Amino acid sequence: MTLKSSARILAITVICSVGICLAQHASLGQRGPLPAGQWRLDGSPLADGVQNVSNATAAAKVGTITWGPGFVGKQALDLHGNGCLQIDNPPIDLSRSYTITAWVKVNHLGGWQTFVSDDGPVQSGFFLQLRDDTDTFGFVVTHHGEGLPNAVVSSTDVPTPGKWYHLAGVYDSLHHSVQLFVNGKLQGNVYCAPTPPVDGPLVIGRGRFGHGPVDWVHGSIEDVRAYQAALTPADIAAVAGPMVAKAGKLGEVVDAGPVPLTIHANETAVHVSPTLYGLMTEEINHSYDGGIYAELIQNRIFKDNASTPAHWSLVTTGGGTGNISLDHSHPINKALTTCLKLDAEPGHAGAEVGVANDGFWGVPLRPHTQYRISFFARTAPGFHGSLNVALEAANGSRIYASGSFKHLTTAWHWYHTTLKTGGMSASLANRFVITTNGTGDLYFNLVSVKPPTFNNRPNGTRPYIMKMLAAMKPKFLRLPGGNYLEGNTIKERFNWKKTLGPLQDRPGHQGPWGYRSSDGLGLLEFMEWCQDLHMQPVLAVYAGYSLQGQHVPPGPQLAPYVKSALEEIQYVTGPVTSKWGAVRAKDGHPAPFPLKYVEIGNEDFFDRSHSYDGRFAQFYHAIKAKYPQLQLIATMPVQSVVPDVIDEHYYMPPVAFERAAHKYDTYSRTGPKIFVGEWASREGHPTPDMNSALGDAAWMTGMERNSDIVIMNAYAPLQVLIHHGPSQKRTNLIGYNGLQAYGSPSYWAQVMFSSYLGNIVPHFTLGKAQDLFCSVTRDSKTGTLYIKLVNTARNRRVVHVSLDQSEKIASTGTLIELTAKNRTSTNTMSDPRHVVPLTKVIHNLGPRFTLHVDPISVNVIVINRRR
C-alpha cells in the first residue's frame, strides 16, 4: 500500500465522523441512506467562498461559478464552461463499492460535460456525465493505465436542455458491475473489472483526460452525494425523492422557437451546376480489386508478394502430396513474369493435388449463377494427367460447380470455361481450386474467376455496387485518384499505358495504400464505368509529383509527362484516325468518350519543392493549345496562370462541417470555380454514422446554395471492403463484401441531395437559427420546388414557410426524411437499413405552411406546382 492510499483511508475515517453529523441531517428530513459526503450547493455561504458545502472537507472554487435557482434546494451551482469545485481528500475510496448522485441540468446538448468525477493522474477515475457522441447521460468507470476497457453505461435516451434530472452512478466491487440510474430508473448495467484507487480530488463540474481538465459543464448542479456503498434501486429512489415526479423526461422532444423561411421561388439567385454531385474514386480500401472490379481471384498474376504465393494454398485429396512456390523462369511476356509452380505427387489413382485461392477474404458464390473461369497453364515435359477446376466450400466439404481440361501441353496455353452453381445458399466462405491427377510440375498464371457483371461487360464491375452508385445519380467520376494517381514514387504512379489492352498485357503496380493493384480496372474500364452510369469523366493526369516527395521539375524533364497526358486525353477523346484513338478502338471502343474536365495532379500543396506553379503552367499551356475546350483543374492555388477550377479537399469532424456550412456564401466570385474534389465528415468506422450525415448534409446545403461557384463535389473515400483486415481510411461512404453492399447514413444523405435537385436556387431567407441549415432549389421547367432542411439539434424545429402569394402549388407534397435515435446510430453489414430515408405525404400546403423538422434529421420537402 502506498503512502498516498493510506492517507486516503485516513480521510475516509475522518469522513465517517462527518457521517454522524449527516445522520442528524437525516433526522431533520433527509431521505435514504447516509452519504460519506454531501454538497448541497444551495446557497448558504461558507468561509472558503463556496456555498453550503455541508461536510468538513474543503471545496476549492476554480474558475467562474455563480449561483442560480435550485430545483431541490433554494439555489444551485451554475457553471459556464470554465468553472468547477474541487474537493481534496474525497470521502470515498474508488477501489471499493461506491455511488455518486447529483441533480443536474444542462443548458444545451453537444460537447462532453462531466458533472462529477475524481481526478486520476491521467484521467478521471469515473465520469458522471453528458456524452457528446450520443447526447445521452453516461457513467464511466476507468482503469488507469491498466489496459482494461472502461466500463461505460449510457442512458437509454436523450435529456432535454433546461430540465433537471437526478443521476446516480453505482460501482459495485463485489459484483463487478457499473450501473447508471436517471430519475431513479436503471439505464444499464455493465461488467467492470476491479478498479485501482485514485488519489486526486473529487471534482464537480468537469472531468480529466489526457493529463488535463476537460468536459466543463454548461448548466447547473445541485445536491451532489458520495456513498461508500453500491446503493440498491430502492436506496436510489429514496435519495432521488419526490422531486423526481417534477423532473425532466428522457427523450422528450421540445420545440425550438419558430423560424421563418421565405422563398421567392420565381426569382433566380444562382443556377445549379449540372455537375454538382459526382463520385471520387481510387484504389483504397480494396475499392477496385475486391471491390467494384468483379474479379474474384486475389493475386491472379502472383506478384502481390515477392516471396510467397499470397492467397494461394496447396490442396490434396486421397493422400496426395505436393508443393507450391513462385516461379520466375517461365515468363509469358513482359507483364506476366511470375507464375505459380505446383509440384504434384498424387501418389496413387484417385488422389489429386492442386492449388486453391481464397479470393478477397472469401470467394462469393450465389445459386444458379455462371462464373467465367480462365487461366494460363503449362506442364513440365513428361507430365501426364488432366486438370479439374471447382468452386467449392472453403474447407472443401462441398463442390458447387466443377469442370475439367484433358489435354495439357508444355507450352503456355489459355484455358477457359464457365461453371454454373446449382441450388445453394449465397455465401462467402468458398474457394476456387485447380487440381490434377498427374505427377510432376505444373505452372499457372493469370487465374481468373468472373461472376456476372454490370451490363455484362467481360472485364466489368460488380452489379450490386454499381447499383448503389447509380442511386447517387452521379454526374461525374473523378479518376483514377487521389494518392493512387501519384503513387509513392514516380515509378509507382498510375501509368495509364500499362493499364490498357488484354489482361495478359497488364503487369499491375504497387499502389500507395499498402497493396498491389491488378490494373484490371484500367483507363478503358474507367471510361466504361462512366458510360454505364451516365457520368462524365474528370480525368486526373499525373503531373510530376509523387507522395514520398519525388518531383519532376518544370521544363524539359517534365515534357515526357506532359506528352503522356496529351496522349491520354487523345486515348479518351481522339478519333479512331488518331494514334491513341486507334489504340482505344483496338481495345474494343471505337467511339470517343466525352471529356470536359482534366485535373492536373493531386494535392500538390504537399510538394515541398513548390514546383506546382511551374508544373501546372506547363501542362496548362500544352493542353489548352491542343484542347482549348477542356476545363483544367488545379489542385491548389497557382500564380502563373489562372486555372479554370481549383480542387479543394476537406476532411473534418461533423461539427466542423456544420460550422463551415456558410463558407461559400461569401466566397469570391471573381476567381476560378471550385471543385470540392474530396470531403467527408469523419465520424464512424468503417462507415460514417448519423452525426456524420448531419455534418455532411449541413455542408451540402452550403455547396448547393452556392453552386454557381462550387460546380462539382465528391465525397471520399467512396468505398470500403469490409473484411477481417484493416481498411486504409476509417470513414468511408459505402461498405461491402463479396455479396452485398450497404449505404451509411451519409450515403443516404448524398442520395437525397442529388436525387432531389432543381436547376436554379431561388432567392430565399431563413430566419436566424443555429443548428438549422437550408437550401432551396427549383426545377424551372416543371416548377417543382425542393426544400432541404437539416436539423442538427435535439429540438424539433417549427419552420413557417412563406411563398409568394402568386405561387400555385399542390396542396399535398412529399417529405423524405433521414433521422435516427442517436447521433451514433449507423448502418452495418448485418443491419444495413437501420438508418434510411423514409417518404411521407404532407398535406395542407399553400403559400403559407408550417413544417415540423424532427431533431437530428435531414429532410427534403418536394412541392409540386398545382395543375
Nearer to ligand AHR, 607 or 807 (CB): 607
Minimum CB separation of residue 723 from ligand AHR in Å reads 19
User: Which residues touch 659 (CB under 8 Å, ≥6 apart)?
Assistant: none
Nearer to ligand AHR, 219 or 717 (CB): 717
Residue corresponding to grid cell 431513479:
184
Burial track 570-580 (b if 16+ CB lie within 10 A, e otherwise): bbbbbeeebeb
Look at residue 778 and give its three-state secondary structure.
strand
Q: Does residue 483 interact with ligand AHR by CB under 6 A?
A: yes
Minimum CB separation of residue 471 from ligand AHR in Å reads 21
Nearer to ligand AHR, 376 or 484 (CB): 484
Nearer to ligand AHR, 729 or 821 (CB): 729
Q: Give the angle 116-118-119 at the CA atoms, nearest 5°.
A: 125
Minimum CB separation of residue 512 from ligand AHR in Å reads 8
Mask: binding to ligand AHR, 451-470, rule CB under 6 A, as x and -? --------------------
Total binding residues toward ligand AHR, as defined by CB under 6 A:
11
Mark the segment that binds ligand AHR (CB under 6 A) among 133-141, 218-226, 341-349, 481-489: 481-489
Give dist(CA 181, CA 158) in Å, integer. Answer: 13
Minimum CB separation of residue 718 from ligand AHR in Å reads 9
**Grid cell for residue 367:** 445459386
Minimum CB separation of residue 637 from ligand AHR in Å reads 17
Interface with ligand AHR (CB under 6 A), residue from 282, 528, 599, 807: 282
Total count of residues recorded for the chain: 867
Give dist(CA 256, CA 749) in Å, integer. Answer: 23
Q: Does residue 647 interact with ligand AHR by CB under 6 A?
A: no
Mark the segment that binds ligand AHR (CB under 6 A) among 328-336, 382-390, 475-483, 772-780: 475-483
Q: Does residue 592 interact with ligand AHR by CB under 6 A?
A: no
Nearest alpha-carbon partner for 741 in 763, 771, 720, 711: 720
Interface with ligand AHR (CB under 6 A), residue from 70, 248, 474, 481: 481
User: Which residues touch 691 (CB under 8 Å, ≥6 apart)?
Assistant: 133, 654, 681, 683, 684, 823, 824, 856
Give dist(CA 534, CA 540) in Å, integer. Answer: 19
Segment 283 to 312, residues that bind ligand AHR, using CB under 6 A: 284
Nearest alpha-carbon partner for 715 in 705, 727, 729, 726: 729
Residue nearest to ligand AHR (CB): 482
Nearer to ligand AHR, 336 or 716 (CB): 716
> How far does the chain reach from its first CA to its final CA, in angstroms?
84
- The kind and range of the H/E element at 650 are strand 645-652
Mark the segment that binds ligand AHR (CB under 6 A) among 478-486, 574-582, 586-594, 838-846: 478-486
Minimum CB separation of residue 505 from ligand AHR in Å reads 27
- The kind and range of the H/E element at 654 are helix 654-659
CB 646, CB 664: distance < 8 Å: no
Minimum CB separation of residue 749 from ligand AHR in Å reads 18
Mark the segment that binds ligand AHR (CB under 6 A) among 414-422, 480-488, 659-667, 761-769: 480-488
**Grid cell for residue 67:** 449561483
Minimum CB separation of residue 745 from ligand AHR in Å reads 19
As a dihedral over the C-alpha atoms of residue 592, residue 594, residue 598, residue 603, rounded to 10 degrees, the angle is -100
- The kind and range of the H/E element at 704 are helix 690-705
Neighbouring C-beta atoms of residue 343, cutoff 10 Å: 16
Interface with ligand AHR (CB under 6 A), residue from 482, 520, 643, 837: 482
Q: Does residue 279 interact with ligand AHR by CB under 6 A?
A: no
Nearest alpha-carbon partner for 538 in 276, 781, 347: 276
Q: Does residue 603 interact with ligand AHR by CB under 6 A?
A: yes
Nearer to ligand AHR, 688 or 855 (CB): 688
Mask: binding to ligand AHR, 713-732, rule CB under 6 A, as x and -? ---xx-----------x---
Minimum CB separation of residue 827 from ligand AHR in Å reads 20
Mask: binding to ligand AHR, 508-527, rule CB under 6 A, as x and -? --------------------
Give dist(CA 59, CA 88) in Å, integer. Answer: 7
Give dist(CA 584, CA 564) in Å, integer. Answer: 15
Q: How, if at all, do strands 352-357 and 430-436 pair?
A: antiparallel
- C-alpha neighbours within 13 Å on the C-beta side of residue 206: 25
Nearer to ligand AHR, 54 or 602 (CB): 602
Give dist(CA 183, CA 248) in Å, integer. Answer: 9
Nearer to ligand AHR, 157 or 603 (CB): 603
Nearer to ligand AHR, 372 or 729 (CB): 729
Nearer to ligand AHR, 374 or 746 (CB): 746
Cis peptide before 556 (omega within 30 of 0): no
Nearest alpha-carbon partner for 116 in 73, 145, 79: 79
Mask: binding to ligand AHR, 729-758, rule CB under 6 A, as x and -? x-----------------------------
Look at residue 810 and give its three-state secondary structure.
coil
Nearer to ligand AHR, 103 or 542 (CB): 542
Q: How far from 83 is each of 216, 357, 854, CA to CA, in Å?
A: 7, 62, 33
Give dist(CA 298, CA 171) in Å, integer. Answer: 50
Nearer to ligand AHR, 139 or 747 (CB): 747
Give dist(CA 192, CA 96) in Å, integer. Answer: 12
Burial track 773-795 (b if 16+ CB lie within 10 A, e otherwise): bbbbbbbbeebbbbbbbbbbbbb
Calculate the CA 748 to chain-centre distance.
13
Nearer to ligand AHR, 118 or 599 (CB): 599
Q: Does residue 199 interact with ligand AHR by CB under 6 A?
A: no
Look at residue 160 and give its three-state secondary structure.
coil
Mark the segment that binds ligand AHR (CB under 6 A) among 72-80, 479-487, 614-622, 856-864: 479-487
Give dist(CA 544, CA 616) in Å, integer. Answer: 10
Q: Does residue 678 interact with ligand AHR by CB under 6 A?
A: yes
Minimum CB separation of residue 651 from ligand AHR in Å reads 7
Nearer to ligand AHR, 281 or 775 (CB): 281
Minimum CB separation of residue 531 from ligand AHR in Å reads 24
Nearer to ligand AHR, 158 or 634 (CB): 634
Nearer to ligand AHR, 746 or 859 (CB): 746
Interface with ligand AHR (CB under 6 A), residue from 101, 427, 430, 602: 602
Nearer to ligand AHR, 82 or 510 (CB): 510
Q: Does residue 601 interact with ligand AHR by CB under 6 A?
A: no
Minimum CB separation of residue 680 from ligand AHR in Å reads 8
Nearer to ligand AHR, 283 or 771 (CB): 283
Binding site for ligand AHR (CB under 6 A): 282, 284, 481-483, 602-603, 678, 716-717, 729
